[in-house]
Amino acid sequence: MFTTEGHTGVITLNRPRALNALTHPMVLRIAEALTAWERDPAVVQVLIRGAGERGLCAGGDIRAIHDDAKAGGDASEGFWRDEYRLNARIARYPKPYVALMDGIVMGGGVGVSAHGSVRVVTERSRVAMPETGIGFVPDVGGTHLLARAPGELGTHLALTGTAVGAADALLCGLADHFVPAARLPELTAALAEAPAREVSARFAQRTAPGELAGWRAWIDRCYAAETVEEIVERLLAEGDPAAKEAAETILAKSPTSLKVTLTALRRARRLGSLERVLEQEFRVSCHALRAPDLVEGIRAQVVDKDRNPRWSPPALAEVTGADVERFFAPLGEARELRLP
């Protein structure tokens, strides 16, 4: 749903029963609206929010991705191409782009919010890139964002898929301001008349402490290891219950996804720009579409909901370097994502 309120163009993701999960038509319509508002001098800034009380956006429509992968189709590839282009555009948008990251903000929801210029979280925010749990790899620029988080915090979030609250989202550079959820209607009304940065600063408050700052020492120490196996070994050796829980969480994820994710994060640090990282993510996503763990992971978590995925291969030690490299292989000139 697209409206203008005063000087602000407003995008409302309006699939509340599906936690506002993104579809391909939604991505295309958001891009069209951004084009129109960029050219409209009456619109000085953009706001994105989610309908309902549960969250901004839970990600892409993974049931559709599951069905496409299972059928050997290419609809997901087309969706990702346009979605990643939109993520890059949001990051470079010439007008302030305000994201209300209230409630659940995961996967594709991070892509349409955390690249914005003014990112607001609330006490209800749960921000995550949980892809390793469905046999996938963080995308929508997620490896770029997480690679830039302080120390190894981003590696922890990427491998475990942990959802963080407001304080930890701020610490990791995924958000800019904390505003209580009860004040979001007031903030939105103020945006109709005043500049985004002035409004966000006026409404911003201090947030309650998070967890990650207190865990930073063992996170940096453990996740600096070269391999996922060594990361798990270090976590189990720490003696900290939170580190042990992190190790157990990691061991429940797709072994292939874990190793590809760690490699993608390390390469994202060297690639630098969001555009180059999105190009890498597109390759990885397209290869993941043809790998067995994506269909199996979505089946277990979303379709059958038995929470018992049968990963292939089932153990970290069985995932070879060659297995990982296949996810980064060129797609061929006609299929590569090229961003300016």
Q: Which residues are CB-contacts of 197 (< 8 A; sequence separation ≥ 6)?
A: 96, 118
Indicate which residue of 55, 108, 135, 154 is catalytic: 108
Element (DSSP H or E) covering residue 119: strand 118-121
Indicate which residue of 60, 135, 141, 142 is catalytic: 60
Indicate which residue of 139, 168, 281, 296 is catalytic: 139
CB 64 within 8 A of CB 111: no
Indicate which residue of 61, 68, 131, 238 is catalytic: 131
Judge whether 139 counts as a catalytic residue: yes
In the chain, where do the E strands start and end? 2-5, 8-13, 45-50, 55-57, 97-101, 104-106, 118-121, 126-128, 177-178
Judge whether 59 counts as a catalytic residue: no
Task: Calculate Rg over the CA atoms of the chain.
Answer: 19
Residue 57 tokens, joined:
């956006």
Strand duo 55-57 + 97-101: pairing: unpaired
Judge whether 272 counts as a catalytic residue: no
Judge whether 321 counts as a catalytic residue: no
Tell me how far apart the alpha carbons of residues 140 and 282 are, in angstroms, rounded to a whole number: 9
Q: In residues, how long is the chain?
A: 340
Active site residues: 60, 108, 131, 139
